[in-house]
Amino acid sequence: MNHFQYKNGELFCEDISVSAIAKEVGTPFYLYSKATLTRHFKAFDSSFADVDHLTCFAVKSCSNIAVLSLFGSLGGGADIVSGGELFRAIRAGIDPKRIIYSGVGKSVEELRYGLKSGILLFNVESEQELHRLNSVAAEMGVTAPVSFRVNPDVDPKTHAYISTGLSKNKFGIPINESLDLYIQADDMANIEVKGVSCHIGSQLTLISPFVETLRKVKGFVGRLEEKGISIQYIDLGGGLGIVYDDEEPPHPQEYAEAIKEEMSGLEATLILEPGRVIVGNAGIMVTEVQYTKTNRGGDHEKHFVVVDAGMSDLSRPSLYGAYHAIQPVKEDKAVFQVVDIVGPICETGDFLAKDMAFPRVEQGDLLAVLSAGAYGFTMASNYNSRPRVAEVMVAGDQFKIIRQRESMEQLIQGESIPEFVEK
Ligand code: LLP
């Protein structure tokens, strides 16, 4: 359930009409509902209430500091994958002791920053990273808390670009080869082995791959214990899917029950890294129709709705062929036609929807692109020198711009013309 609903034919976010916000903010913009963010975070987190756990929100899915701060205030931690995300999480007031650091390519500076900040865990993804982390920690005179990200070789049955737990993917260390690394790490002066972590993919609509993964991890933890290595944290990653169209993902409660059953008998604290399931349906992108046109060929005609947002603002349709439902903000449009909804960018791949049966809209109409809260703004770029759009949060009958629309000056910030270029 989310708080984007029609009232008297007009789309509302909580108690404010979307068109009233558009009037003040201009388009395009991302719009998040605080009540929905809160509801989704609590629905997920409270499903695990009866076990020792930590919900570390995957910052990459929606990284505005207002959103992070909200989850921090609800007791959440953060799953980060870069120094930039660490900076955001700290700025948002998230306790470093609730921050875990994933990712295959951490630089020396990033490791140093994580150590200096006193984060809870580094999810180490290679032998070389382990050695680098040990030497950076030694240089700083500290001990690095480590969990290895193991790759369980489980098929998450999702889009190939977002499946990460197969042995052919770049992520983690093959689970069957990790034991030696744990033994090695256990002997290192500046490493403290604390956990096992994994993340098998995103937008999963089945529970079985999670259960299969946890079984493998459980078996592995047993082997570690035989070697005298005890594990305090088991991190199952993120990945729970949401409804974009006609998917039928499990409810977080169902997912939690299955995980908790597998965890029984284990002493460890459970860490979860959800992103999409919390924010995906808590945000929309609002865009305005600029033009409608029909291109006719010999035996066909194609209708286009050209809007002011494109692949630089929401890249998922272009990048993954992902489906996002799109609806007019005013519901009074009855006649349907099959259209492509496209952006202003000079690429044929710049579309938000293809062959969508859509009410007949006109120049100036506002459209809501649904389920855009996850991997929407965070994947935006400045391609075609388009300033990144504004982000807005609604709470009841109030709204606040939580990120200003970028200005033209910001577009060229940091650029300069060297003397040898000037005449
Ligand atoms: N933890 C790790 C280590 C991850 O790599 C990810 C996502 C998550 C947690 C959160 O997964 P979630 O709960 O959101 O599924 N850009 C793609 C999704 C990429 C996901 C990358 N990793 C998309 O728009 O579908």
Residues 250 and 337 in one domain: no
Is 85 inside any structural domain? yes
Contact in structure between 339 and 303 (CB atoms under 8 Å): yes
Is 418 inside any structural domain? no
110 is in an annotated binding site: no
Which residue lies with its CA nearest to atom 9 of ligand 1?
238
pLDDT at residue 218 in the model: 95
- The first and second tokens of residue 16, run together, are 């404010």
Cα separation, 133 vs 107, whole angstroms: 9
Residues 218 and 246 in one domain: yes
Q: Which of 254, 279, 304 is the last residue of a domain?
A: 279
Query: Which of 54, 273, 378, 379 has most ligand 1 atoms within 8 Å of its beta carbon, as the pocket-test mutant?
Result: 273
**How many domains, the chain?**
2
Residues 215 and 318 in one domain: no
pTM confidence score: 0.97
Q: Which of 279, 300, 333 is the last residue of a domain?
A: 279
Contact in structure between 99 and 80 (CB atoms under 8 Å): yes
219 is in an annotated binding site: no
Residues 233 and 293 in one domain: no
Whether ipTM > 0.90 holds is yes
Residues 290 and 228 in one domain: no
- The first and second tokens of residue 301, run together, are 């005609």
Is 141 inside any structural domain? yes
Is 262 inside any structural domain? yes
CATH of the domain at 289: 2.40.37.10
- In 3D, which of 249, 275, 372 has the Cα closest to residue 315? 372
198 is catalytic: no
Is 196 inside any structural domain? yes
347 is in an annotated binding site: yes
Which residue lies with its CA nearest to atom 7 of ligand 1?
202
> What's CA 412's distance to the chain center, in Å?
27
Which atom in ligand 1 lies closest to the alpha carbon of residue 164? Answer: 5
Ligand 1 midpoint to CA 59 (Å): 9
pLDDT at residue 165 in the model: 67
Cα separation, 320 vs 351, whole angstroms: 11
Q: Which residue matches tokens 């002066």?
A: 189
Is 417 inside any structural domain? no
Which atom in ligand 1 lies closest to the alpha carbon of residue 204? Answer: 15
pLDDT at residue 155 in the model: 87
239 is in an annotated binding site: yes
Q: Is 160 helix (H, G, I), strand (E, B) or coil?
A: helix
Residues 267 and 324 in one domain: no
Query: Which domain covers residue 315, as residue numbers?
Result: 4-31+281-411
Query: Which of 54, 55, 59, 60 has most ligand 1 atoms within 8 Å of its beta carbon, as the pocket-test mutant?
Result: 60
**Pocket of ligand 1 from Cβ distances under 6 Å:** 58, 61, 79, 102, 162, 199, 202-203, 237-240, 273-277, 316, 374-375
Residues 252 and 393 in one domain: no
Cα dihedral 176→180→182→184 (10° resolution)? -160
- The first and second tokens of residue 262, run together, are 């597998």
Cα separation, 303 vs 341, whole angstroms: 9
Q: Which residues pair with 409 in a beta bridge?
A: none
CATH of the domain at 207: 3.20.20.10
Q: Which of 279, 296, 331 is the last residue of a domain?
A: 279
Task: Indicate if the alpha-carbon torsion angle 253, 255, 256, 257 is positive or negative.
Answer: positive
Residues 24 and 75 in one domain: no
Q: Which residues of the chain carry a pLDDT beneath 50?
A: none
Catalytic position from the list 13, 56, 62, 346: 346
Residues 137 and 193 in one domain: yes
Q: Give the HSE-up count for residue 308: Cα atoms under 13 Å, Cβ half-sphere.
A: 19
pLDDT at residue 299 in the model: 87
pLDDT per residue over 337-362, tens digit each? 999 999 999 999 999 999 999 999 99
